[in-house]
Each structure stands twice: as C-alpha cells, then as structure tokens.
Structure 1
Amino acid sequence: MKRQKRDKSDRAYTKGYQTGLSGRSKDICPHEDPSLRQAWLTGWREGRCDNWDGMTGISGVQRMSENLHL
C-alpha cells in the first residue's frame, strides 16, 4: 500500500516539535523558506513548552499527534 506524503509544513512542524522536545536550540532550523521556517519554529516552541512541562517520551508523542489533527 502506498503512503500518502504529508504536507511539507506538517513535516516541518513535526521536526521542529521533536527538536524542541529534545531541548535543542532553535538556531538549527534547516529551512530557508519563510512558511516552512515558521512552521518549524511553531513546532519548536510547542516542543520546548512541553519539554518544560515534563511531557517527554510517549506523552510528548501523543501531544504532537493531537496537534497535527487540529
């Protein structure tokens, strides 16, 4: 079965969230395109907030999947 590719902004958000959740710096954002950079930074901010709130591991992954379905 073929997998449908997700939107690039969704992938950028997810990667940013994972980076923020792991406590890494926002300076490592790999995107130059303004819309993708914004999606990545939004994910990074939410990931950092969840990191500070102690939502790591499974709870962080669950939160990320909830945000993608909004």
Structure 2
Amino acid sequence: MKVNEGTLDRSLRVIAGLALIALAYFGTIGAWGYIGVVPLVTGAAGMCPLYSLLGISTCPASTR
C-alpha cells in the first residue's frame, strides 16, 4: 500500500471521522454517522482506495 494522503488530508479525515462517530454515539445524527469509520481508517492508514483508483495523491512528492 502506497501512502497517497498528505498530512492535512489525513488530519481532516481523522477529525471528521471522530466527529461523525461521536455524533452517532450520542444520538445526534442517527446510526448512519458510524460511516465515520471510513474516513477514520483511511486517515490513520494514509491510504485512500478511491484516490488510488482515480490517480490522485495529496502526499508531497518527497514522501511518496
């Protein structure tokens, strides 16, 4: 697996994932909020399968 997410992208994914999971846990947005697991995992791993399919990378060239 090749890293294809930059630091800012990864940070935003983790924050968004945690926020969605917390909102779902407290019943604010319903069970669909647990979809926040997806950005949380991709942010933690630094690899987005959709980015790979589309040939996108937000990772700086020096750390690829």
The normalised TM-score by structure 2 is 0.36
The normalised TM-score by structure 1 is 0.34
Bigger-Rg structure (1/2): 2
Instruction: Tell me: higher relative CO, structure 1 or 2? Use CA pairs within 8 A at least 6 residues apart.
Output: 2
